[in-house]
Amino acid sequence: MNTPTLLLAALPTQAEDPEGFHAPGPEIFDLPPLWEGAPTWLTKPTLLAALSAVILIALFWGAFANPKLVPRGLQNLGEIGYMFVREQIGRPFLGKDTDRFMPLLVSIFFLVLVWNLMGVFPVIQFPVASHIAFPIVLAAAVYLLRIYLGIKHQGPIGYFKNMMFPPGVPKPVYILLAPIEFLSNLVLAPATHALRLFANMFAGHMLLAFFSMVGFYFIFQNFSVLGFPVGVLGTLVTIAMTALEMFIQFLQAYLFAMLAAMYIGGSLHAEH
Amino acid sequence: MSEQKRTPEYDGRDFADAAWSVPAYLLSGILVWGGFGWLLSRWTGVSAFIPIGVILGVGLAVYLVYLKHGR
């Protein structure tokens, strides 16, 4: 070993000190396969995504498999959820076409909601959408549907013409405007659709991990009289942040489904 | 279409459409024409093309929002 390496090894760096406080970093999203020898794709997020689908199928099966005219129990809950998606997400953007797209919108909203709530559910505590592949798949599906519906309802030329060439502009100006329309509608819109959900879930999980780590470290791992209040504060902030997270998780599920409805609505009718 | 326009649903849609598309248009305007200005400045060596492109892009984006939602 040469001298610089020895010198470096002698220095107590933060990362090497087992007693020091380590703020959790992005590595908390780097999860190994579930057990030794499991396929590499079989990790906690994929398991939770599958579990979310099973939970949703079970809930809606229980609610609507044998519907009564006067709803009771689970059916009540299912109807409230369905009505919420129809009135708050579907109607404002799809109008009379809402019912046609309700199966898709209900699935998107509740799937994303359950994915997100996994982030604060005790013991599970991992938001599925904090792995960007999951929101990308949903956003890409909505994107393809949107282009398909646009071409179907406005024609292959009409759709892109309506999107990129707003009427009432002198022809040469289109050279300036069309590229902006193209980038914002066909590239940035789907990208931000997926990124918004991902980034919110990623950041929220990091914050919760950080504050609960503060609480755990100063109360249990390295107890001291001076550190104890810091630990208590960390725990209290964790509780408050969990409440805030639940709100954000609901809000992001709502926004994701709302934007899906907005994109679909834009494809059904030309913008005016 | 004019019948539908007056219902509150379609008012809501218009408003949300505008609210969500403004940032995307501004960003696209800056990226497209700022990027074009950057390419021009690389080609000609005149760095003034970058701010000119960015300002042109923002202006065009605002004009586009007006065309689509302001009239």
Q: Is-above-0.90 flag for pTM?
A: no
CB A112 within 8 A of CB A136: no
Q: Is B3 on the interface with A (CB under 8 A)?
A: no
Nearest chain B Cα to A188, which residue? B24
pLDDT(A232) > 50? yes
Quote the minimal CA–CA distance from A271 to chain B in Å. Answer: 8
Residue A232, φ and ψ in degrees, nearest 5: -60, -45
Distance of CA A268 to the CA centre of its chain: 26
pLDDT at B7: 53
Residue B53 inside a domain? The answer is: yes
Nearest chain A Cα to B7, which residue? A95
For helices A133-154 and A156-164, angle between their N-to-C axes, nearest 10 degrees? 110
Residue A35 inside a domain? The answer is: no
Distance CA A122, CA A116 (A): 13
pLDDT at A148: 96
Count CB pairs under 8 A between chains A and B.
66
Residue B51 inside a domain? The answer is: yes
Domain count, chain B: 1
Residue A157 inside a domain? The answer is: yes
C-alpha radius of gyration, chain B, whole number: 17
Q: Which of A12-16, A37-41, A260-264 has the lowest mean pLDDT?
A: A12-16
Residue B6 inside a domain? The answer is: no
8 Å CB contact of B20 and A262: yes
Contacts of B59 in chain A (CB under 8 A): none
Residue A28 inside a domain? The answer is: no
ipTM: 0.78
pLDDT(A4) > 60? no
Residue B7 inside a domain? The answer is: no
Residue B55 inside a domain? The answer is: yes
CB A154 within 8 A of CB A267: yes
Residue B9 inside a domain? The answer is: no
- Report the residue of B7, B22, B32 to disrupt the A interface, i.e. the one with the largest count of A CBs within 10 Å: B32
8 Å CB contact of B27 and A184: yes
Q: What is the 3-state secondary structure (H, E, C) of A97-132?
A: HHHHHHHHHHHHHHHHHHHHHCCCCCCCCCCHHHCC
> Which residue range forms the structural domain that includes residue B35?
17-70
Q: Is A211 on the interface with B (CB under 8 A)?
A: no
Q: What is the DSSP letter of A28?
A: G
8 Å CB contact of A92 and B29: no
pLDDT in tens, B17-61: 777 888 889 999 999 999 999 999 999 999 899 999 999 999 999
Residue B10 inside a domain? The answer is: no
Residue B61 inside a domain? The answer is: yes
Q: What is the DSSP letter of A270?
A: -
pLDDT(A95) > 90? no
End-to-end CA distance of chain B: 16
Nearest to B4 among A95, A176, A185 (CB): A95
pLDDT at B69: 80
pLDDT at A207: 94
8 Å CB contact of A95 and B7: yes
The type of residue at B67 is L
Q: Is B43 on the interface with A (CB under 8 A)?
A: no
Span A78-107, mean pLDDT? Answer: 93
Span A185-209, mean pLDDT? Answer: 94
Residue A211 inside a domain? The answer is: yes
Span A110-123, mean pLDDT? Answer: 95
pLDDT at A70: 86
Contacts of B28 in chain A (CB under 8 A): 179-181, 183-184, 188
- Write down the H helix ranges in A122-268: 133-154, 156-164, 173-182, 189-216, 227-268
Span A11-36, mean pLDDT? Answer: 75
Residue A144 inside a domain? The answer is: yes
Domain count, chain A: 1
Residue A25 inside a domain? The answer is: no
Distance CA A41, CA A57 (A): 23
Nearest to A92 among B9, B56, B67 (CB): B9
Q: Is B66 on the interface with A (CB under 8 A)?
A: no
Contacts of B57 in chain A (CB under 8 A): 180
B13 band by pLDDT with thresholds 50, 70 and 90: low
Residue A115, token pair as written in the block: 């994915």
The type of residue at A241 is M
Residue A121 inside a domain? The answer is: yes
Q: Is B4 on the interface with A (CB under 8 A)?
A: yes
List the one residue out of A94, A129, A101 whose CA is nearest residue A115. Answer: A129
> Which residue range forms the structural domain that includes residue A226?
42-268
pLDDT(A7) > 50? no
Q: What is the DSSP letter of A185?
A: I
C-alpha radius of gyration, chain A, whole number: 24
8 Å CB contact of A259 and B21: no
Q: What's the mean per-residue pLDDT of chain A?
A: 89
pLDDT in tens, A33-57: 888 888 888 999 999 999 999 999 9
Q: Is B28 on the interface with A (CB under 8 A)?
A: yes
